[in-house]
Structure formats: C-alpha cells, structure tokens
Chains A and B, each alone.
Chain A
Amino acid sequence: MTESSSQNANVVVECLRSWSQQAVAEVIEFRGETTVVVPRDLLRAVAERCRADAKLQFNLLTDATCVDRYPVEPRFELNYHLVSIPRRDKVRLQVQLSGQDPVVDSLVPVWPGANWLEREIFDLFGIRFSGHPDLRRILLPEDWEGYPLRRDYPVEGFRDVPSTGELFKKSSML
C-alpha cells in the first residue's frame, strides 16, 4: 500500500515539476499519504494543472480545510484533498499562509464545489479567498465577531457575560 502510494506520489510530483520547477516547494509522506506543498502564488495554476492534466485527472475536490498552528509562523495550513475518480488516486495540496496576510486565490474557478468549503474556512478561520464569487459567513451569524476555529480563540469564555445580579441591577434601574 505504501509502495503504490509513493509511486503515485512520484507521478504527481514529477508531472508538476516537469511543468514548473517552482510548483512543488516540499513533498511530505506520512502513513501512506502524500502532501504536496505549493507556493501561495501558484496555487490556482497548480490546481488547474492537477484537474486538467491527462496524466493526473484530479476531477473531484473532496475536501478543503485549514489548520491553525498558532503561535508558529506561518500559522495557517490550507489542505485541499483531491481525488481522481478515473485513476483511483488521492493527493493533498497544502498552502502555508502567514497570520498577517491570510489571503489566497480561490479555487472556485477550478472546482465550483470549492465554494462552500472556502466560505466555511473564511467563516471559522478568517482566511480570505480572492476571486471567490460569494464570500460570506456560512455557519455563524453575519454579525459574529472573531473566528472561532483559530487557536487563540478560547473554547469558552470569549465574551464577559454579566452576572445575574448585575443584570437585575440594570433592569431595576430602568
């Protein structure tokens, strides 16, 4: 299993390298999964290549998600999980983003299915996708403050909730 997946990884990496030397910044192999780290500026071009290249044919974008490694910089890792239905292969594209400027090209022009996945990441991590047709919050209310899945956002106690006594005082003053 590991052998065949590393062979497949070679196909993806070789194909991308032969297209552009800068396209692959790093290749990570872990438990039979291949992660291709891509420079931020080349993401959309690499994704388009992965989808359209006859040797790769990654036609299905299964998942897109983000990991926050705060306080390490670059703190955000965007992971795109691609599946090729005709070739029965999987690969993960990864882009690393800094906390100061979390902007990346949207993949909606490549896979329309990226629309809601990117909206979810925007909603919960505050990463902006340039070129996204409809970048709004999707799960949280539109007036929500902050991005809950960031590591510096506490699990509970984000806002100071007034005690019952304070509320009573306030209401009796009215």
Chain B
Amino acid sequence: MTTVETVTGAAKTMVLNMGPQHPSTHGVLRILLELDGETVVKAVPDLGYLHTGIEKSCEDKTYSQVITLTDRMDYLNPLGNNLVYCLAVEKLLGLEVPKRAQYIRVMMVELQRISSHLVWLGTHAIDLGAMSVFLYCFREREEILNIFEMFAGQRMMTSYIRIGGVALDPPAGWRQAVDKFLRMMPSRVDEYETLLTQNPIWIGRTKGVGYISPEDAIALSMTGPTLRAAGVAYDNRKVFPYSSYGEFKFEVPTRTESDCYARYLVRVAEIRESLKIVRQAMERILDEGPIKAEAPGIIPPQREKMKTEMEALIYHFKIFTEGFSPKPGDAFVSVESPRGELGCFVASDGSPKPLRVHFRSPSFINLQALPKLIEGQLIADVVACIGTIDIVLGEVDR
C-alpha cells in the first residue's frame, strides 16, 4: 500500500484482488490492482493457474503424437495450433505439402479465425453489458463447428491438420455447406454491426479506452489485431507468407486510434476479409488430388496399400511404434493466429522424439502489455481492456 498525492491531499491506495475466478478474465487470470479511488495506479497480472506443462509433455512423445496436445493450448484456435506445429516439423524434415492440402488448410484456418473472432465479440460484448450479441455470435459459430465436424469428425479438438497434409479427404457435400455459410455470413456481420458500431453505450465504453502507442506496442512485442489497431500493418500472412497465402487476395485492416473501439473495428473487418479468403480457397480446392505429401516412412500409408504391399505395412508398423527421426537442427515458424503471431520452435537431436518444442503464444505476450493499457484508467475499463487483448488462458499458461 502506498500513499499517493491527490487534489485533496495525500491519500492511501487500496489493493484489490481481481480473479482468478472472475467472469471477465476469460479463464483463470488473477490481477492485483492497486487503486486510488476508482483509478488503477498499478496492475500486476499473476498467471500459471492453467499451466499443464504441455512443452514438457511434447518432449516425451513422438512427432506425430504431439499434434493432439497442440489442440488444447488455444482452444479457440485448435486448427491454427495444429498448422503451426506441422509447418515447423515439415520445415525440419524439408517436406513439401501438396497444393490441394495447402488450400484445405487455409480454408479451415480462416474458418477458425472467424469462429474465434465470433467468440471474442460475443464474450467481449457480454463483459460490457450487451447480452444479445453473444447469442447471435454463437449461432453463427455453431455453423462453423458443424463444418469442422463434417471434415474431421470433431467440433473443437479436431487434430485435422497432420504432418505432411491433412487427415482426411473433404467429405461429400462440403462445398454446399461452406457455400451456404459464406452466403449467409456477410449479412450476419452487418447484424452485429447494427447492434454495436453506432451504439452510444458501446462507443462510450470503448472509444478512447486502453490506448497504447505503436512504438510501445512493438517494444512490448505485441502482435495481431491489437498492433494493427495501432496502425502497424504487421500480418504474418502478408509479410512472411506460408501455406500459399501469397496467392490469395485480401486486405490487412488497420486503424490508427489504438483504443478498444479500433480493435473492435479491426476484428470485424478481419471477419469480412477471412470470408473472402475462404471463398477463394474453396474455388482453388480441386475435387481430386493428393491431401498428403509423398514421403514413405513419415506419412502413414493408405489403408488399402497396407493390405497389398509389404513395404507399406512395414512403414506403417515403424511409424506407429518408433516414429520418424528428422535431421538434427532447429526450426522456427510463425503463423497469424486470431490473436497475433503464433510461433512454434522445434529442435531435433536426430531421435524420434523432439528435443524441445516451444510455442510463442500471442496471448501470453500480448497480456504483458495489460498494465500499460490500464494504469491510470478506471477500474471499469480494466474489463474492456482484458477483453480487447483477446486472451485465451489455455494458451497463456500452456
């Protein structure tokens, strides 16, 4: 407890514990707030409540087994986590993924981005008191999860993207399902905007709240929509294209106000851009073609081949009993997750298990800037600021 100088003289500050069980912290985040009246003087985040040692567990699994663990980090973006890990291992192996599989990956990851932004918008609006937006957002998210279920058999922890390609061929009727969604969605985004963009309460709660200068944002390693709302057009899909993103036409929405309202506008614009990418990817995916790279000993062989070819049977046995061993070396890949730059570092020592797997999780690093956003602001704005950074605690703590 410290003494601060106020207009009426010296005053004592109060320390308030927020969380770890607080509805607006989106998981289990604890923040120690030092308050002068209703103004935050100092904020100290305390994390680790969801730490499960995923990086340590990865070292005890073969390369293919790790994929299921990555799903569970950022549970709003499991496909993106699968993708970044697979890209890192493919880089380590020097593996080329067929174009068709790359387009399927892009389509799935962009659908995932839309669903993640929808959860963000719904929960952020509910934090600030707009109940109905949440219900609308989850209605559309349901449609996306149904598409994932069609493709992977799972709605959330899909593990659909595998080393060297994707797990399964697109199912019958997928084009109609995705097309239906793409035709429905633009008008639904308009609906959310009618509810919020001109809403005086929404504007009052978000405009001018949680400002951070672009210089500070870069110095604090912030990425993603939070950085783009500060006017820096840094998007991994454009700057360091991966998985054929260079062939797609889309804009990187930016704003310069760098407040909670600007971050909202950037994310809504990103939903619209993602819809464009999904449409383009859908047109590029051919009906026939390979979905996995040609790499015996690394990619499991087709079921039919195992019954007729001895080599295929041997490879199948070897892959699932001992795994495969990439050459010793390090690989670092980053992709643009809905929250920012998601990186994966994989080091191999030539054995079938990775020596080290590390995830650069955007939530963890963006959360670091929270004290900067809220110090000097009102306590009610803390909720708005946590919301607009868009953290997923499963990814913060890993």
**A interface residues with partner B (beta carbon < 8 Å):** 30-31, 33, 35, 59-63, 65-69, 79, 81, 85, 88, 90, 92, 111-117, 120, 124, 137-141, 148-149, 151, 153, 155
The reply to whether B331 and A62 form a contact with Cβ atoms under 8 Å apart is no
Task: For residue A38, give the distance in angstroms from its CB to the closest CB of chain B.
Answer: 15
B350 at the interface (CB under 8 A from A): no
Q: Which residues of B approach A to under 8 Å, CB–CB?
A: 47-48, 51, 53, 55-57, 59-60, 91-92, 94, 218-223, 232, 234, 239-240, 329-332, 334, 341, 343, 345, 347, 349, 355-356, 358, 360, 364-365, 367-368, 397-398
B56 touches A31 (CB 8 A): no
In addition to A30-B330, A31-B329, A81-B343, 14 A-B residue pairs with Cβ atoms within 8 Å of each other are: A31-B94, A33-B330, A35-B330, A60-B234, A62-B343, A62-B360, A65-B360, A85-B239, A92-B332, A113-B219, A115-B368, A139-B48, A139-B397, A149-B55
Flag if A33 contacts B332 (CB, 8 Å). Answer: yes
Task: Give the distance to chain B from A58, nearest Cβ to Cβ, in Å.
Answer: 11
Tell me the smallest distance from the CB of A102 to a CB of chain B, in Å: 16
Given known pairs A60-B218, A60-B221, the reply for A139 and B47 (CB within 8 Å) is yes
Nearest 6 A/B pairs, CB to CB: A113-B221, A63-B360, A139-B48, A65-B358, A30-B329, A139-B51
A33–B355 CB distance below 8 A: no
* B56 pairs with A62, CB closer than 8 A: no
Contact B56 A33 (CB under 8 A): no
* Residues of chain B lying within 8 A (CB to CB) of residue A115: 368
B334 CB contacts on chain A under 8 angstroms: 62
Minimum distance in angstroms from B218 CB to a CB of chain A: 5
B221 surroundings in chain A (CB, below 8 A): 60-62, 111, 113-114, 117
Q: Are B51's CB and A117's CB within 8 A?
A: no
Instruction: Report how far A25 CA is from B46 CA in the complex, Å.
Output: 38
CB-nearest residue of chain B to A116: B368
B220 / chain A contacts, CB cutoff of 8 Å? 112-113
* Least Cβ–Cβ distance between B384 and chain A, in angstroms: 22
Report B44 CB to chain A, min CB distance, Å.
Answer: 9
A79–B56 CA distance with the chains assembled, in angstroms: 18
Nearest A-chain residue to B50, judged by Cβ: A139
A59 to B234 Cα, complex, angstroms: 12
**Closest chain B residue, CB of each to CB of A155:** B60
**Pairwise interchain contact A33-B331, C-beta atoms closer than 8 A:** yes
A31 pairs with B360, CB closer than 8 A = no
B368 engages A140 (CB within 8 Å): no
- Complex Cα distance A61/B60, Å? 29
- Compute how far the CA of A81 lies from the CA of B221 in the bound complex, rounded to whole angstroms: 11
